[in-house]
Structure 1
Amino acid sequence: MSVVEYTSQFNALGSYAPAIMADEVMKLHRFKKGLNNRIQSALAVYQPVNFSDLVGAAIRAKADIRRREEKKRNKASGVCFECGKSGHGITECSTVANRPAGPNRGTGPNAGAGPSKSKEDKPNARVFAMTQEEADDANEVVSGTILIQQVSAYALFDCGATHSFISKRFAKKLGCKPEKLNEPFLIATPTSRVIETHEIYRDCKISISEQTFSANLKQLIMVDFDVILGMDWLARNNAIVDCKGKKVRLQTTN
């Protein structure tokens, strides 16, 4: 079971234990206790700020575990870490041998990029779908029309996205001024490319079924969607996402 599926089930079952869900400390404890043992170990010393922070950390821990497992499989199968081809190791790789010498020679796909590129290896967030085509291929998304600041928006509810985003084009319609981030926020895209954003729109009012919710939306260049509501927002609002039925159920404070 993925962290996303576990979170959805946790929120669903939580409706039968309102006392636990209302107690933030107990809620975090119960959620963490139900995670996979390897994820629990990875989060042993992690101190989450809130529930959505813990969910995001669990998703990242799961991704790190998957990457390590993939790396071990590649090593066992004799795949070169430089070019990705089998039959030789990195020390015998012609790509390394043919690379010009220099202070930034290094190895791997970011070789020659210099120290400033190292940060791209550690994105702050990830998003699973940024286009309609990617959304059609994903199993953990639901789309629909909602209101943001009373402006109609085409939204993607994306369980695979760790954070929530707003398109630069749609943001101009809201007439709100974004807040400049102190440091660029790095995002891993579906194509494995890392992009950065420097602006965030805080406390945007989202209207769904005559209920109002708040969201912090980081600006992102998108074409097919106006907003992407990720796990930070879904977890905070105890969302239950029915991907097969293409429905999202949210719990309000009342």
Structure 2
Amino acid sequence: MREQQQPAPPAPAPAPAPALVPVAPQVVPDQLSAEAKHLRDFRKYNPMTFDGSLEDPTRAQLWLSSLETIFRYMKCPEDQKVQCAVFMLTDRGTAWWETTERMLGGDVSQITWQQFKESFYAKFFSASLRDAKRQEFLNLEQGDMTVEQYDAEFDMLSRFAPEIMVIEAARADKFVRGLRLDIQGLVRAFRPATHADALRLAVDLSLQERANSSKAAGRGSTSGQKRKAEQQPVPVPQRNFRSGGEFRRFQQKPFEAGEAARGKPLCTTCGKHHLGRCLFGTRTCFKCRQEGHTADRCPLRLTRNAQNQGAGALHQGRVFATNKTEAERAGTVVTGTLPVLGHYALVLFDSGSSHSFISSAFVLHARLEVEPLHHVLSVSTPSGECMLSKEKVKACQIEIAGHVIEVTLLVLDMLDFDVILGMDWLAANHASIDCSRKEVAFNPPSMTSFKFKGEGSRSLPQVISAIRASKLLSQGTWGILASVVDTREVDVSLSSEPVVRDYPDVFPEELPGLPPHREVEFAIELESGTVPISRAPYRMAPAELKELKV
């Protein structure tokens, strides 16, 4: 039986192509908000944290100043400063802010940076503390500090007296007045105009003083060793006299010990032992380290010689009161405001003062011309302090009750008074002080007698800030608003009016006031029979319009 052929199996169908599944786009996280960006940039500057401690009030001020410096460099917007500052508060500072935020409205985004600073200073650095720091700066003196340490303290406290720092001459004068007397006089001899010049001179003088003291110590050590060597027997070798190396080494030991005590290396340029860079052949003074002169023509050396020559002729003086506290305690002085060379000054009549003085700050403010004294005057105060006066005002005059009187005023560093008229001036002008009436009577032999009514010793007014005044008013404190009105009549002339003065031929010399009211207003008269021009508009007929359209 024939096998029946089986049909071939059908070819397998091709596998269907996989269906394309739509791929979802990768989800990119949202960009950082503006607040987060500013906070991230702020933290890159590594700002300090503040824990709210009250042990050191200046630390709070330094912390806030450092934040403002960072804000200035990163150009932080005003509405982000508070959030960045709050982020750096810890411990007690965080607790303070939670309370302050509720008091200011509870929304940190609505609190301004100025409000934050006012609340922060009121809590951690009040106005009384700032006033105390300002007074500490005004009383700052070098004392036992080095010049570098004194300058660092000067810079640290100077930010509490910005009214002095804005004037470079006043800043330099305050720095010089705080130096020790042995350095202060030499620095003043060069009359530095800026704080940087005064600092450079003071540092150079202190380095010179240290070098001289170390040199004196080295000489003392060398002389002591020499005396010890002279007292001891010299060991002379009895054998082998040819070997003199041991004897030579013994002779050189005292010299080497002296150089080692001084601690000065040997210079390869000049061959001498000294510290610092070598000034040989540089036309630089070895004394003051200034260029342009040599040591034999140094102004510092000449000043020292003049001081040494005049040391025996040092004059003594005294003053009974240099500030308002001492004047109020005394009760035997008279004060008043008088013009001195055209500038009004607070004057103190003091019979207990041996000379007449003027404040150095007043001389600087009024730009008075001064000249050096022939001798240095040492002035003793009731507090036991000793001040030096080296200058006087040229050709000074003071006006009292219409009389102009000559006076010799010596420049002295005083606080509350501009001028002190002492016994020398009172005796020369035959003046006597009536303490009960607070009057000064003048009885000159060649003039008629006159009197000056003083104000007595008065306290200077206390000044507060506008922020503190607003807070006191909000707390219910009484406030008195005083206004000043000038009641003097203003002279009206032709030249004072901007338009009228251009037509002097039309207007009179004196203007009594506004022109009188006119019954008839100004008008332009027309000829009789004149009527307004009236012309009817021209209209075209339909036939004419048709011709135009063709």
Aligned mate of 1:213, from 373, 389, 405: 405
Is 2:376 aligned against 1:170? no
Distance 1:242 1:207 in 2: 20
Does the 8 Å CA contact 1:239/1:249 hold for their aligned counterparts? yes
Pick one of 421, 424, 447 that aligns with 1:232. 424
1:191 partnered with 2:383: yes
The answer to which structure, 1 or 2, has the higher relative contact order (CA under 8 A, 6+ apart) is 1
SS state of the match for residue 224, structure 1? Answer: coil
- Determine if contact 1:123/1:188 at 8 Å carries over to the other structure: no
* 1:203 match: 395
Separation of aligned partners in 2, 1:195 and 1:223: 13
CA distance in 1, matches of 2:394, 2:428: 15
4+ residue stretches of structure 1 with deviation over 6 A? none
Q: Which amino acid aligns with 2:431?
A: A
Identity %: 38
TM-score by length of 2: 0.24
**Pairwise CA RMSD:** 2.1
2:439 to 211, 232, 247: 247
1:131-184 CA distances to partner (integer Å, 9 max, x unpaired)?
Answer: 001001114311111110011110000010010000001112333321112332
| Alpha-carbon distance in structure 2 between the residues aligned to 1:224 and 1:142 | 14
Structure 1 residue 125: Cα displacement: 0.7
Structure 1's 135 and 123: CA in aligned 2 closer, same or farther, altered over 3 A? farther
C-alpha deviations, 1:188-220, integer Å up to 9, x for none?
111122111111114311001111101000001
Q: Which amino acid aligns with 1:231?
A: M
**Residues of 2 paired with 1:223 and 1:194: CA distance?**
15
Name the SS of the counterpart of 1:124 in structure 2.
strand
Separation in 2 of the partners of 1:221 and 1:194? Answer: 11
Tell me whether 184-193 or 159-168 shows the greater mean CA deviation. Answer: 184-193
Deviations 1:196-250 (A, max 9, x none): 1111114311001111101000001111100000000001110020011111112
Given the superposition, is the C-alpha separation of residues 251 and 188 from structure 1 closer, same or farther in structure 2, using an over 3 Å criterion?
A: same
**CA separation in 2, counterparts of 1:192 and 1:202?**
29
Larger Rg: 2
Q: Distance in 1 between matches of 2:368 and 2:328?
A: 31
With the length of structure 1 as denominator, give the TM-score of the two structures.
0.50
Q: Which runs of 5+ in 2 are unaligned?
A: 1-307, 448-550
SS in 2 for 1:222: coil
Provide the C-alpha distance between the structure 2 equivalents of 1:227 and 1:204, rounded to a whole number of angstroms. 12
Matches of 1:176 and 1:131, distance apart in 2: 22
Determine the structure 1 residue equivalent to 2:317.
Answer: 125
Q: Distance in 2 between matches of 1:248 and 1:173?
A: 28
Q: Give matches, 1:73-222, under 5 Å.
A: 124-222=316-414
Count of matched residue pairs: 137
Tell me what 1:62 maps to.
Answer: none
**As a proportion of its length, which structure holds more helix?**
2
